[in-house]
Structure 1
Amino acid sequence: MQRLSEQILAHAGGLPEGTPVSAKSLLHLGNRAAVDQALSRLAERGELIRAGRGVYLRPVTSRFGTRSPSVEQAVEALASQRGEVIVSSGAAAANTLGLTTQVPVRSVYLTSGRTRKMKLGKQVVELRHAPRWQLALANRPAGEAVRALAWLGPEKAEAALLALKRKLPQTTFNELVAAAPQLPTWLARSVGKAAHG
């Protein structure tokens, strides 16, 4: 019979790149204490990466050596595993939409879960709890616009909305307008002005 650590590695090896492994997902292999210990030992040996409390990832091996999975893949997999909404931060969204030339230095994501940090090799990914309205329209272009506008704040929102009205496809802008009732008053007012102005 295979040892528990070998069974865990075989299970992790069958998962897509970046899929997190947690003790709860391995309880079919053994009791909780044994699984926790095996995960910890595998992380110490470098066969798994400890990304955060109770979250482990399989390193990606290529002809250039081993590396951590991509941040996007790890965050996506974590979101589906935990049932959370996890989206890029407002600063990243503003940069993607061309509303700022600032490139975020740190990897920050907004989540419906609790605030925490995840380590992927040397990179630290910050997951910040965000209000529901910032997570509206999660991974859609209109949702990116909402987060970018929230990050820019009330002073810059109207000018940014006029730029977005020119840049975004009409259907995406209409989706943003339709989401206005979910937004805070200052942002809903700005969206209304841009839509009817």
Structure 2
Amino acid sequence: MTVAAAILAEANNLPEGALISAKELLHLGSREAVDQALSRLNKSKELMRIGHGLYVKPVQSRFGVRAPAPEKVVARLAETYAETVAPHGAAAANRLGLTTQVPTKVIYYTSGPNRKIKLGAQVVELKHAPNWMLLPGTGRAGEAVRALVWIGKSHAGEALSKLKRTLLESEVKELVALRRALPGWLSQSISQRLMQHG
């Protein structure tokens, strides 16, 4: 079995979005042989190069071949590099019903460095963000924080009034509890809108 065939056999057993890098394939051949095989598999479109030395396996669907879902690739990147990653504020605002605008770009915040990954025709951007913007990663309170930052200071009040009606009570409490970690304007808006009675 050639090195390329062996790499492909391993790739076929991986879940969608799993990262493939030469470092993890050195049991199949020398670094040079593995690099050459990965390059060949990329040219023959059996693997997709998404960044320096990183590959993913395209997904075969009944509609043909597509790139793996961005959120799956981003989740694997976060796991591999021990980063915290969260969807951008525009996506969070859309999901929480604060805007009907659908983001045209796929952007994620990360605790790691800025970088772009290419998934077929789509470019996924990872932007470094301060820790408070990544807390808590995937919960709705965290989404609310990122959505409010994207909406901005002047419209945060009305967005919070809406969130007070749509979030669960436990999520509102969680958002209130995050105030200490947030910038002054945001912390103040949350106090004013969410802690008033009635």
Aligned residues: 196
Q: What is the alpha-carbon distance in structure 2 between the residues aligned to residue 114 and residue 32 of structure 1?
A: 26
- Counterpart in the other structure of 2:118: 119
Q: TM-score, normalised by structure 1?
A: 0.94
Unaligned regions of 5+ residues in structure 2, if any?
Answer: none
Q: What is the alpha-carbon distance in structure 2 between the residues aligned to residue 138 and residue 32 of structure 1?
A: 36
Of 77-86 and 113-122, more deviation after overlay is shown by 77-86
Unaligned regions of 5+ residues in structure 1, if any?
Answer: none
Structure 1 residues 6-155: aligned runs within 5 Å: 6-155=5-154
**Matched residue type, 2:77:** L
Q: What is the alpha-carbon distance in structure 2 between the residues aligned to residue 113 and residue 27 of structure 1?
A: 26
Q: What is the alpha-carbon distance in structure 2 between the residues aligned to residue 11 and residue 24 of structure 1?
A: 14
Q: What is the alpha-carbon distance in structure 2 between the residues aligned to residue 172 and residue 14 of structure 1?
A: 38
Q: What is the alpha-carbon distance in structure 2 between the residues aligned to residue 177 and residue 146 of structure 1?
A: 10
Secondary structure, counterpart of 1:17 in structure 2:
coil
**Matched residue type, 1:12:** A
Q: How big is the alpha-carbon RMSD for the aligned residues of Structure 1 and Structure 2?
A: 1.3
Q: What is the alpha-carbon distance in structure 2 between the residues aligned to residue 64 and residue 194 of structure 1?
A: 48
**Matched residue type, 1:166:** R
Deviation at 1:32, TM superposition (A): 2.9
Instruction: List per-residue Cα deviations over 1:51-82 (Å, max 9, x = no partner).
Output: 12222110111333211111122222222222
Secondary structure, counterpart of 1:118 in structure 2:
strand
Secondary structure, counterpart of 2:123 in structure 1:
strand
Once the two structures are aligned, what percentage of the paired residues are identical? 53
**Matched residue type, 2:114:** T
Instruction: List per-residue Cα deviations over 1:141-185 (Å, max 9, x = no partner).
Output: 111001001111111112111111111000011011111111111
**Matched residue type, 2:54:** V
**Matched residue type, 1:182:** A
Q: TM-score, normalised by structure 2?
A: 0.94
Instruction: List per-residue Cα deviations over 1:22-49 (Å, max 9, x = no partner).
Output: 1222233233333222211210111101
